[in-house]
């Protein structure tokens, strides 16, 4: 068994204000997405689109944060927040849903693209290959917070998490950081130059993320107070299954489409 590193979730506190590792991971994820997407624009000889990228990332980030919070509220604990509506605004108490964040980012990105006559699928492919960096960093933030820990186990690298009782558990946050983060990034980044029809890289992300997380959820302790589907499938696995189906549907809809540029014609 390995000792759990007791890392203070707060990096620094000044009066009532605190900078936390989890928030820093979000910031680093956005910065990584920006610089990697900017690198792709330069690879394609389109540096003049960097200001457009910055605007799109800003609004996608707003949609991600709002969607992640609302997803946690609506998908996991609606009754709790219905009784305590002001708690919805208490982001510092934790509670963000990846699937809600994905929906929020896609919706806000689509609205921005429509308003500015951008090819949504072209920009989605540009950004989605950078997304796993932020996902992996977010899981490291979960590990530092000692939350979303794994199920009890006797593997040699098991850890006792402060909030998980005295039993050793899988460090499932690190499994997800490696699977949904590093591994998924290496796959998608290696395919960024493939001249696929716009939307296919997004479809691949949906399928691979959904499949990887569906598997890794077997090592993660189910969310407290949230029922299981069919007695074994977690809420996260259910949404991952929907992701895989959506990715497959998008693949069949977008395959064979002609290559497109960043702007709509006309």
Residue 146 lies in a domain: yes
Q: Is the pLDDT of residue 78 over 70?
A: yes
The burial of 237, by beta-carbon neighbours within 10 Å (0-12 exposed, 13-18 middle, 19 or more buried), is given as buried
Average pLDDT over all residues of the chain: 93
Task: Sort residue 198 into left (φ over 0), alpha (ψ -120 to 50) or beta.
Answer: beta
Q: State the pLDDT at residue 266.
A: 47
Instruction: Locate the DSSP E strands across 110-159.
Output: none
- pTM reported for the whole predicted model: 0.93
- Residue 176: pLDDT band with limits 50, 70, 90: very high
Rounded Cα gap, residues 159 and 255, in angstroms:
45
Residue 213 lies in a domain: yes
The terminus-to-terminus CA distance of the chain in angstroms comes to 63
Number of Cβ within 10 Å of residue 42's Cβ equals 11
Residue 2 lies in a domain: no
Which residue segment(s) compose the domain that 175 sits in? Answer: 20-254
Residue 63 near residue 108, CB atoms below 8 Å: yes
Asked if residue 139 belongs to a known ligand binding site, the reply is yes
Q: State the pLDDT at residue 121.
A: 96
Residue 247 lies in a domain: yes
Rounded Cα gap, residues 58 and 249, in angstroms:
28
Average pLDDT over residues 131-158: 96
Residue 32 near residue 181, CB atoms below 8 Å: no
Q: State the pLDDT at residue 94.
A: 67
Question: What count of Cα atoms within 13 Å lies in the side-chain half-sphere of residue 91?
Answer: 14
Share of the chain above pLDDT 70, in %: 98
Kind and range of the H or E run holding 71: helix 50-71
- Residue 228: pLDDT band with limits 50, 70, 90: confident
Q: Is the pLDDT of residue 83 over 60?
A: yes
Rounded Cα gap, residues 154 and 193, in angstroms:
43
Residue 260 lies in a domain: no
Rounded Cα gap, residues 44 and 38, in angstroms:
10
Q: State the pLDDT at residue 129.
A: 98
Residue 261 lies in a domain: no
Residue 191 lies in a domain: yes
Q: State the pLDDT at residue 93.
A: 64
The burial of 43, by beta-carbon neighbours within 10 Å (0-12 exposed, 13-18 middle, 19 or more buried), is given as exposed
Residue 263 lies in a domain: no
* pLDDT per position as a tens digit, 161-174: 999 999 999 999 99
State whether the Cα torsion 236-200-193-117 is positive or negative. Answer: negative
Q: Is the pLDDT of residue 91 over 80?
A: no
Q: What is the dihedral of CA 149, 154, 158, 159, to 10 degrees?
A: 70
The number of distinct structural domains making up the chain is: 1
């Amino acid at each position: 068994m390995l000792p759990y590193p007791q890392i203070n979730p707060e990096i620094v506190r000044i009066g009532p204000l605190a900078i936390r590792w989890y928030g820093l991971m979000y910031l680093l994820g956005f910065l990584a997405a920006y610089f990697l997407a900017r690198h792709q624009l330069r690879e394609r000889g389109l540096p003049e689109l960097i200001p457009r990228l910055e605007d799109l990332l800003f609004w996608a980030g707003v949609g991600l944060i709002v969607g992640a919070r609302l997803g946690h509220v609506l998908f996991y604990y609606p009754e709790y927040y219905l009784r305590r509506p002001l708690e919805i605004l208490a982001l510092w108490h934790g509670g963000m849903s990846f699937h809600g964040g994905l929906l929020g980012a896609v919706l806000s990105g689509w609205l921005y693209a429509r308003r500015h006559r951008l090819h949504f699928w072209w920009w989605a492919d540009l950004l989605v290959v950078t997304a796993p960096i932020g996902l992996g960093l977010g899981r490291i933030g979960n590990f530092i917070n000692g939350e979303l820990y794994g199920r009890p186990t006797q593997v040699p690298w098991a850890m006792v998490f402060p909030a998980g009782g005295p039993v050793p558990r899988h460090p499932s946050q690190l499994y997800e950081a490696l699977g949904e983060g590093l591994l998924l990034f290496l796959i998608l980044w290696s395919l960024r130059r493939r001249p696929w029809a716009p939307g296919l890289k997004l479809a691949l992300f949906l399928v691979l993320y959904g499949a990887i997380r569906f598997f890794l959820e077997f090592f993660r302790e189910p969310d407290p107070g949230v029922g299981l589907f069919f007695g074994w499938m977690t809420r996260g696995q259910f949404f991952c299954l929907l992701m895989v189906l959506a990715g497959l549907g998008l693949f069949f809809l977008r395959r064979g489409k002609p290559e497109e540029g960043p702007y709509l014609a006309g």
